[in-house]
Amino acid sequence: MRITIEGARVVDPASGRDETASLHIDQGRIAAIGKAPDGFRAEETIDAKGLVACPGLVDLCARLREPGFEYKATLESEMRAAVAGGVTTLACPPDTDPPLDEPGLVEMLTRRAQSLEQARVHPLGALTVGLKGERLAEMAELAEAGCVGFFQANAPIADTNVLLSAMRYAATFGFTVWLRPQDMALARGGIAHEGEVATRLGLAAIPAIAETVAVRTIVELMGATGARVHLARLSTAQAVAIVAEAKAKGAALTCDVGVHHLHLSDRDLADFDSQCNLVPPLRDPRDRDALRKGLADGTIDAVCSDHTPVDDDAKLVPFAEAEPGASGLELLLPLALKWGSESGLKLPATLATVTNRAAQVLGVDAGTLAPGARADICLFDPKYPWVVTPAALASQGKNTPFLGFELTGRVVRTLVGGRVVHSA
């Protein structure tokens, strides 16, 4: 199939391209930008005047809820949500039921996702068996089955010896270890950031040092093992500073932030809104501002949706009893655009955090519009205002702190491998 996307503002952060041009697709790949190749005859032409064409978004964390949590969402519903949000490549964490700690489970998930022919799914295997933090999973076999890294999701390893062994093993085989940094003892029982708001509301608290102590430990273990580590969902200013220091010394360290944490803080808990019950907890406004700055200056590599669809029953309860998590796949682009605009960034710099920089973290072939690359493309209207309502979301999870908010920027079409998989 030959397609020409005509008249779009083509933004490719990986190459620095930002120009109004036509984009030509042939047999699922980018054939050319600007002048069509000799002999090229488009079978379909998409009028994209006023739209931005960028690489399909790369999301570092989207829970698809299969296997085990089909009552919250299904692979079909969340894959539709992904492409509706312009996401063409995503990593799914291993905290399914059962966890992704066996090659057969990974292969089944990958096959199911491929059969739907929408976004590309890259599973993260469990770092330890059952995510229990006791015995290492069979990383080599999981890697052969298609895992691009190994993650403990929201279940930090309490035994530092186990973590040391995991990092040694991963370093030996060149695997990347993904960790959400949190000291389990310091965070035990907590549901909100330790500070004035948690005290006033009577909520059990998680101190910032629960994260920073964990980051310090991980950095020390990296030095001892040579492991490559990705820190998932940073939430504190001090953690950002530690990462900057470690990167300056040459550590093979990357990190991301959840998109909700760029805009919200613990002040948003004031009315006990259970939609703001997230993991990690929303922190102090100064932490939020440090995350925004760290993402802008490159200390934080990427922003992800941390998509976690939750059923209504699990949210329509008091804050302390609510299941944490928020839907995010379809909000990733507009919330990233909002952060970029408020930070004074140019569009390519903003889009880099959800395209090529995220693809580099995953180590996959994605996140660019370079000629020859796979034609995974997001076409969006950067000025389109829309209100976040349950009906506006394709995800089965309608849980988000942004319900009722007006956002700007909406995906018009999404192409994966040169096929249109979403059209608004």
> What local confidence, expressed as pLDDT, does residue 271 receive?
84
> What local confidence, expressed as pLDDT, does residue 120 receive?
97
Annotation marks residue 183 as catalytic: no
Which of the residues in the chain have pLDDT under 50? none
- Bridging pattern class, strands 176-179 and 192-193: unpaired
From CA 379, how far away is CA 52, in angstroms rounded?
6
> What local confidence, expressed as pLDDT, does residue 60 receive?
98
372: Cβ–Cβ under 8 A, 6 or more apart, which residues? Answer: 29, 30
> What local confidence, expressed as pLDDT, does residue 362 receive?
97
From CA 287, how far away is CA 192, in angstroms rounded?
14
From CA 392, how far away is CA 394, in angstroms rounded?
7
Q: What are phi and psi of 293, to 5 degrees?
A: -70, -40
Q: Which of 12, 183, 266, 306 is catalytic?
A: 306
368: Cβ–Cβ under 8 A, 6 or more apart, which residues? Answer: 12, 14, 15, 55, 355, 356, 359
SS3 state at 278: coil
> What local confidence, expressed as pLDDT, does residue 28 receive?
97
Please check whether residue 351 is in contact with residue 54, taking contact to mean a CB–CB distance below 8 angstroms. yes
Both tokens of 66, joined, read 């299969």
> What local confidence, expressed as pLDDT, does residue 270 receive?
80
pTM (predicted TM-score): 0.97
From CA 286, how far away is CA 91, in angstroms rounded?
29
Closest CA to 335 of 369, 281, 298, 291: 291
Helices (H) and strands (E) in the chain, counts: 13, 19
Closest CA to 139 of 115, 161, 171: 171
Closest CA to 300 of 344, 267, 256: 256
| Helix (H) or strand (E) run with residue 172 in it | helix 160-173
Domains defined for the chain, CATH in brackets: 2-52+374-382+405-423 (2.30.40.10), 56-369 (3.20.20.140)
- Helix axes of 237-248 and 209-225: crossing angle, nearest 10 degrees: 20
Tell me the residue type at 414. Answer: T
From CA 280, how far away is CA 265, in angstroms rounded?
11
Both tokens of 218, joined, read 């991980």
Burial of 97 (0-12, 13-18, 19+ CB in 10 A): exposed
Both tokens of 348, joined, read 């390519």
